[in-house]
Amino acid sequence: DLRPIPSPRGIPLLGHTTQVPGTNPFAYFAELSKQFPEGIFSLNIAGIEQVFVTDPDLVAEVCDETRFFKQIEKTPLNHVRDFTGAGLFTAHQHEEEWGMAHRILLPAFSQRAMKAYYGQMLEIAQNLAGKWEGREGQPVNITDDYTRLTLDTIALTGFGYRFDSFDKEELHPFLNALLGALVESLRRSQELPVMTKMRKADAKKYGENIQLMRDLVDSVIKERRQGKGSGEEDLLGLMLEATDPETGKQLTDDNVRDQVVTFLIAGHETTSGLLSFATYSLMRNPHVLAQAYAEVDRLLPGDTVPDYDTIMQLDVIPRILEETLRLWAPIPLFGKTAREDTVIGGRYELKKGTKVLILEGPLHTHPKAWERPEEFDIDRWLPENRVQQHPHAYKPFGNGVRACIGRQFALTEARLALALVLQKFKFADPNDYKMDVREALTRKPGDFELVIRTRQDQE
C-alpha cells in the first residue's frame, strides 16, 4: 500500500528552490510542516529531493543506523567543509579521519573529563558575572555575552587559548568571520551553482573569512608546538600527541587544524543559543524562574562559589535546559540518508541515497508524543514522567554515532553558567522583547537585550 510522499506545488526545473526564503529557512520548513499532518513531505531544492519528517514514529525509523547514515555530500554541510574540512562535524562517514578523531577524542568528552575542565569553565563564567556586575541597571545584549562565554570556554578548556572576549566591546573578529562564512555556505547550498559563480565579491569575502579563522587556529597550534599554552591533557594536546589505537596513526597537521576550527564553532554557537533561549524562557515563565532561584539559593547561598559537585546536584536548572532544548533546539534539523531502497511508515518509498531531514521543532512538539506541546513545562523531565516519553521524539543532540560528542560539555557549562547568573542577577525586560530568531547553521535570538540588576541590591 505505497503512497506518494506529499509535496507542495513546485515549478518546472526549479522545483521548490525559489520558495525557500534566504533568511530563516528552518522556520519556513517548520511552518510548512503544519500543512502535512502525515508527518512527512518533500521539497526539491536546487535539484535535490529532500524528504522532511516530523512524526516520531517515522523519525524512529530514520534513526535506525542500519538503514540510514549521515551523509555530507549534497547537503549544506558539504559547503561548510570549505572551512571545517574533515573535522568531526563535516567528515564523511567513510573518511578515515572521522573514526580516528572520534576514537581519540571520545574519552575527553566523558562526564569524568568535565571535572578536569571545570576550573576553567568557572573562571570564564566568573568573567561573565564580573562584566554584568559592572552593568547594574543597564541593558545588556544577553546573547552576545553568552557567546563570549561559550567561545572563551571552549577555547580555554580545549586549546589553552584566551580570547579574553569580556575585555572587549566588540565581539572577536573570529565570530564575524564565522558568521559570514556560515551564511555564505548556507546560501550556496540553496542556490544553483551558476548563481554562486556570479557572486564574485561574495566569493572573495568568503575566502577572506575562512582565511581569518584558519590563521587564528594556526597561531594557536604554533604556540602550543612552541611549548606555550596550558597542559597537554586538553583536546589540542590529545590531537597532537595521541595515536589512534585502531589504525596506529596520528592526526595530520591539516586535520588538527580542521578539528580546532570545528570545535571552536560547534563548541560555542549552540551552547550560547541554549543559554539565550533558556533565559528568554525563564522571563516568560516566572513560576519556573522562581523554582530556579529557590534552587540556587538552597545550594549556593550568598556568594558561595559553585564547585563541580554542587553543579552536579542541580535538578531544576538541568530540567530548564532540557525543556529549552525541546522548544528551542539550537540546531533545528539534521539529515540522514537512506543506505538502500527502503519503505518508512509502511507506505512511503525512499530510494537509496534519498536525503531525509528531521525537523526538530515540529518533532519536539508533535501531539503524538507531547501533551500541551507548546507549554514550557520542566516537570516533563522528572524521572517518573521521562520514562513515559516516546523514545524518538526528542533529538536536540542528533542521533547515533554522529550524535553530538560535546553533549556533556555543553550541559555542564550551561548548568554552571545559569546557576552563577541566577545566584547573582535579576533581569528586567522593559522593552518587552519579542522573539526574533536569527538562523545561520544554528539559531539564536537576535537583539535580545535585558536590563541587569544584582540581586543583593534588591533584596
Q: Please identify every residue annotated as catalytic.
A: 270, 397, 404
Cβ neighbours for 262, distance < 8 A, ≥ 6 positions apart: 84, 87, 88, 89, 90
Q: Does 166 bind ligand HEM (CB under 6 A)?
A: no
Q: Which is nearer to ligand HEM, 53 or 452 (CB)?
A: 53
Q: Shortest distance, CB of residue 273 to ligand HEM, whole angstroms? A: 7
Q: In the stretch 131-160, what mask flags binding to ligand HEM with x, by CB under 6 A?
A: -----------------------x------
Do 261 and 127 touch, CB atoms closer than 8 A?
no
- Which residue type is seen at 61? E
The residue among 165, 157, 162, 163 whose CA lies nearest residue 118 is 157
Give the number of residues written for the chain.
Answer: 459
**Terminal CA-CA length for the chain:** 66
Using the rule CB under 6 A, give the single segment among 31-39, 338-346, 391-399, 451-459 that binds ligand HEM.
391-399
359: helix, strand or coil? strand
What is the largest distance, in Å, between two alpha-carbon atoms of the chain? 68
Which triple of cell numbers denotes residue 166? 569580556
Q: What is the rounded distance in angstroms from the CA atom of residue 91 to the CA atom of residue 228?
A: 29
Residue of 409, 425, 427, 448 interacting with ligand HEM (CB under 6 A): 409
Q: In the stretch 78-97, what mask flags binding to ligand HEM with x, by CB under 6 A?
A: ----------xx--------
User: In the chain, helix, strand, coil percent, each to 5?
Assistant: 50, 10, 35
Residue of 67, 74, 92, 102 interacting with ligand HEM (CB under 6 A): 102
Q: What is the rounded distance in angstroms from the CA atom of residue 222 to the CA atom of residue 240?
A: 11
Q: Does 356 bind ligand HEM (CB under 6 A)?
A: no
Q: Shortest distance, CB of residue 208 to ligand HEM, whole angstroms? A: 25
**Beta-ladder partners of 141:** 449
Which string of DSSP letters, residue by residue, matches 297-333?
HHHS-TTPPPPHHHHHH--HHHHHHHHHHHHS-SS-E
Q: Shortest distance, CB of residue 417 to ligand HEM, whole angstroms? A: 12
Residue of 85, 160, 229, 267 interacting with ligand HEM (CB under 6 A): 267
- Which residue type is seen at 182? L
Using the rule CB under 6 A, give the single segment among 186-194, 209-217, 277-285, 328-336 that binds ligand HEM.
328-336
Q: What are phi and psi of 444, to 5 degrees?
A: -145, 160
Q: In the stretch 277-306, what mask flags binding to ligand HEM with x, by CB under 6 A?
A: ------------------------------
Residue of 69, 308, 397, 433 interacting with ligand HEM (CB under 6 A): 397
- Show the DSSP H helices in 10-50 as ranges: 25-33
Q: Which is nearer to ligand HEM, 180 or 398 (CB)?
A: 398
Q: What is the rounded distance in angstroms from the CA atom of residue 50 to the CA atom of residue 92?
A: 19
Q: Which is nearer to ligand HEM, 316 or 452 (CB)?
A: 316
Q: Shortest distance, CB of residue 88 to ligand HEM, whole angstroms? A: 4
Q: Does 376 bind ligand HEM (CB under 6 A)?
A: no
Q: Does 275 bind ligand HEM (CB under 6 A)?
A: no
Residue of 147, 271, 279, 281 interacting with ligand HEM (CB under 6 A): 271
Residue of 43, 149, 251, 274 interacting with ligand HEM (CB under 6 A): 274
Residues in contact with ligand HEM by CB under 6 A are 70, 88-89, 102, 154, 262-263, 266-267, 270-271, 274, 330-331, 334, 396-398, 402-406, 409-410
